[in-house]
Structure 1
């Protein structure tokens, strides 16, 4: 018998154990394979089902998309009808058309929701396009809803307005005028919500990623946004209208006016020499009184009765020992001047042989001929006493007719300024015969003149006064903790020579180890000759600068250094000097000064800013702002084409129409 040795037995045992292990592993692999096959099978079925569901969803999207397309076209047609009613000022069609758009867009939203919440709509590309559609529809819906709400609130207004592009306010009865003004006043509460809706609509349009997908449907989001921007502008005008018009038109109580006509050809601090004043009374839209008078009607009869010490330059350069209403606009701050005018009017009127009964005013209004010229641009030529006044000839023709040829029209020297009232009355009639046509361009024209300070308004009504302050329409010297500059010329007996003067303003600021030093150079060019209107130019010129500024040097002035004077007014320091410019000549007046330490500290901690205010009635044809600092400049405003930045220096060149603000960051 053969015997197996121990090694053979061990080998057999190992092999047997290995076989058992392999069988176990093989079984596990088989079971794993089977498990993966089952899982793969399930995944396959899930994918198949998902594809089928997605396919069915896509099939569902086709009719849903068709429904959306049809309803969107219906809404588009109703929107076009609304636009036609709005642009045509068909007031009785606006509200029904807006309501129809809202209804049609509601149906569009319903159709859109069928797509938005479909699983297929969550595919990334589809989702983004669906959201774009939602934004455009939402913007249109908000806009139509705002117009609808405005139209509903304005029904009392629409009832009084004819269903035609024109509205003759002059032809309305006094009762209808009252109801119209009451409706305008009530409309004030509707505007904030509408403005908010239009703003939100523009935000939604700005978020659209692919505006081009709407082009094939005849819809351009940029054009829609432009329409909304116009509506926002319209609302701004309407806001001014609802706030100002009722009070200005004498509703709910009469409005009394003191008008101050300032001739910028004879420049004074608030716009020009006061040659004419006017008195007006308006009751519920009806002008009960509007007459204009020569300022000397008040001044001359009291020249031996009223004793008021005038400002030093008036006394020295005009040779006047007393101060009268014609020179009352010495402060460039209109609220201050308005109160001074009111005081002079009441005092001089009190001393007249037959005092005027109208002495309490709701509004004191200063205006230059530019305001009238801009309104004539809207109405076309105005004919008064067979004289045709146009924007081009208004100033020249008015001066000739009131200064030289007044006798040809039956006027004496005493009543020659009545022609100004006749022109104003005719202009008012023209504008009021088509209120629908003129109200918005008139408001825009007046707003521009308020911004450029050719129109100045003081009101004793606190709400209106606050509104004027918020919009910088009150003509006041503004307060600022940073740098500030206002250059004020005052024509000292140089006739109408400002009409031929060209001005430049160069402001240079430099940061040194000792703080901030500034230099103001005012350039004058006399482009006229000597005649009944023009002569050697004479101006007492003041610059208003931050309070506490220290004058270092003045050049170009006439007289001795003792005649260079300084003062403080309305929270600012001013420096003043007298200058003369002969016909055909040029000249410069410059002031060099050190700014107060507070402005320098603000520069170090918060950066630099400059508020450059404009004198009413004056145009600066060549404006240069040159700022130099120690540190490199990081940013500057305004960052327009007129600005040049070079390291630590920034330079602007242009012209000045209104108040301007400059800012530099480091």
Structure 2
């Protein structure tokens, strides 16, 4: 009670002038504070939305986010190069969605998911041209910003891809037979038994296209088609030597790593065995199709009581190798059921496979030819092309348990280039019975012209036999390497090439990856006189006077470009 009386006697507290003004300041500052937080967050998340939705194939959502990003960026004053980059990146994503949206109906029509596509591809080519120009501007804006170097790398890749896609887009009417009817020969190769263009040619598919639509798919086992061949066809001498057959069949038609040559040979066999002549050849291997299961989802083969997923595909195949014909037919059926998002993801994955040389298409920029590229400089050019090609001739699936590492050393001197290549092949399987066993690899090295072999060693001992021939304007060295289970064989090859060099020249080294071959580490070391000056846009892993070393993974074609000035003190 006393406390209550005391409280009642206390005067009412009077608000101070500061207390009266505080709510007004807070009310005025709160919108500014919220704007300062929400505006950059909106810029970031709208751009991230555009990027992530594009990669998922949700082009409508991605384009909405890209449009919102552009609208948000317009009020920003161009006082920073980062603002320019942001605005141009949003513009590029907007144009990428326009291109994808204009090209998608052709894929939907191809799979019978929409009306027949128009033969007029003007919108597709125009949107791709605008996208390429936008990426070029973005590329230039990123050059002086070292903090954004990873983004610059991705933009460079995207622009290069846009330039490569351009001739493919221009060829859409022909590729999809928008004006008529055509047949595509699809070489279905098995990389668990590696061969030069992707794997053993166990099956083929004949795809019938009519006015841009896929109207029929027929799967053939090459063992069955080869039984229709009449007469005797002599195989190439090295093929006959390593497989011990006197006759050549469709199943071995892809013996030449130059895909245009193997495609022509496969066409010849199909014409003789099936009495029809396809119009185009596409090469793909089983591992690439298995990767697409992450998009199509699992495939059920009810007749074999099997459910195939990306995760279990290899193990199921090794346990049930006879399911391929049923799988291929069911796979093409599943492709027809893809929704828009899945179809765009599949298209992106196929383009990636084309870029990494896992799919070849005859008569296109992705034709898979074996040929040194043109000089990439205005200086006099010294071009070295080195292509290691493996062929499993052991009639097994030993490539599943094979691992490789490689080292290539190139020593340049004024009058001569010396090369040393080491390949370590390990067979990790302990099984001796099929599908495992010895890995019998007929290894062919495609070397620069005028190369002269000096030594071929297997585990430090001279090879009992090796063969030197010429193909596609290159020197070819072939040697049979037998890797027993749970063992490793070191292959060492040395050769040299005479040179005549200018005082200033551009050196380029190209090392293609083999389709179907699992990626493996490669160390490339370039040695040159210490009096020479070298400049390169590709940062080496190690560099010292007279030496550049690059540690790479051979998962796609490797390119090295160095400019040299000789006799610099």
Same fold (TM over 0.5): yes
Corresponding residue for residue 336 of structure 1: 261
Corresponding residue for residue 79 of structure 2: 132
Relative distance call for 1:99 and 1:237 in structure 2 (3 A) is farther
Say yes or no: does 1:651 pair with 2:552. no
Q: What is the CA-CA distance between 1:447 and the residue it aligns to?
A: 2.2
In structure 2, which of residues 368, 372, 376 is the aligned counterpart of residue 479 of structure 1? Answer: 372
2-structure distance, mates of 1:138, 1:452: 29
Corresponding residue for residue 326 of structure 2: 419
Corresponding residue for residue 294 of structure 2: 377
- CA-atom RMSD, angstroms? 4.6
Corresponding residue for residue 10 of structure 1: none
2-structure distance, mates of 1:620, 1:145: 32
Relative distance call for 1:316 and 1:438 in structure 2 (3 A) is same
2-structure distance, mates of 1:148, 1:397: 43
Say yes or no: does 1:318 pair with 2:243. yes
Corresponding residue for residue 178 of structure 1: 117
In structure 1, which of residues 428, 451, 454 is the aligned counterpart of residue 358 of structure 2? Answer: 454
In structure 2, which of residues 316, 332, 336 is the aligned counterpart of residue 429 of structure 1? Answer: 336
1-structure distance, mates of 2:513, 2:288: 17
Q: Which has the higher helix share?
A: 1
- The 5-angstrom pairing of residues 528-547 of structure 1 reads 528=429, 529-547=431-449
Output one character per residue of 1:137-177: Cα deviation in whole Å (capped at 9) or x when no partner: 898499669959996x999999x89xxxxx8986745xx23
Relative distance call for 1:338 and 1:554 in structure 2 (3 A) is same
Kept in 2: contact 1:265–1:497 (CA 8 A): yes
Secondary structure in structure 1 of the residue aligned to 2:334: helix
2-structure distance, mates of 1:594, 1:344: 39
Corresponding residue for residue 277 of structure 2: 359
Q: Which of the two has higher C-alpha Rg?
A: 1
Corresponding residue for residue 118 of structure 1: none
Relative distance call for 1:390 and 1:244 in structure 2 (3 A) is farther
Say yes or no: does 1:565 pair with 2:484. no
Say yes or no: does 1:274 pair with 2:181. no
1-structure distance, mates of 2:100, 2:164: 16
Kept in 1: contact 2:409–2:525 (CA 8 A): yes
Secondary structure in structure 2 of the residue aligned to 1:532: coil
2-structure distance, mates of 1:507, 1:82: 43
Relative distance call for 1:390 and 1:246 in structure 2 (3 A) is farther
Corresponding residue for residue 64 of structure 1: none
Output one character per residue of 1:97-123: Cα deviation in whole Å (capped at 9) or x when no partner: 969978996xx6xxx9xxxxxxxxxxx
Output one character per residue of 1:244-292: Cα deviation in whole Å (capped at 9) or x when no partner: 6554443233342101111111111111111111111122453211121
1-structure distance, mates of 2:245, 2:67: 65
Corresponding residue for residue 190 of structure 1: 127
Unaligned runs of 5+ in 1: 1-69, 113-129, 162-166, 212-220, 350-354, 407-416, 460-464
Q: What is the CA-CA distance between 1:656 and the residue it aligns to?
A: 0.7
Corresponding residue for residue 490 of structure 1: 391
Say yes or no: does 1:398 pair with 2:325. no
2-structure distance, mates of 1:609, 1:231: 23
- The 5-angstrom pairing of residues 204-215 of structure 1 reads none
- The 5-angstrom pairing of residues 302-317 of structure 1 reads 302=229, 305-317=230-242
Q: What is the CA-CA distance between 1:383 and the residue it aligns to?
A: 2.2
2-structure distance, mates of 1:559, 1:532: 29
Kept in 1: contact 2:441–2:480 (CA 8 A): yes
Secondary structure in structure 1 of the residue aligned to 2:346: helix
Unaligned runs of 5+ in 2: 1-34, 374-381
2-structure distance, mates of 1:658, 1:227: 16
Relative distance call for 1:453 and 1:228 in structure 2 (3 A) is closer
Q: What is the CA-CA distance between 1:393 and the residue it aligns to?
A: 1.8
Q: What is the CA-CA distance between 1:552 and the residue it aligns to?
A: 1.6
Kept in 2: contact 1:263–1:273 (CA 8 A): yes
Query: Which deviates further from its counterpart, 569-578 or 83-92?
Result: 83-92
Secondary structure in structure 2 of the residue aligned to 1:282: strand
Relative distance call for 1:133 and 1:454 in structure 2 (3 A) is closer
Say yes or no: does 1:627 pair with 2:526. yes
Aligned length: 511
Say yes or no: does 1:258 pair with 2:177. no
Kept in 1: contact 2:62–2:97 (CA 8 A): no
Kept in 1: contact 2:259–2:369 (CA 8 A): yes
Secondary structure in structure 1 of the residue aligned to 2:232: coil
Q: What is the CA-CA distance between 1:450 and the residue it aligns to?
A: 1.6
Relative distance call for 1:650 and 1:255 in structure 2 (3 A) is same
Say yes or no: does 1:548 pair with 2:450. yes
Corresponding residue for residue 507 of structure 1: 408
Relative distance call for 1:559 and 1:367 in structure 2 (3 A) is farther
Secondary structure in structure 2 of the residue aligned to 1:301: coil
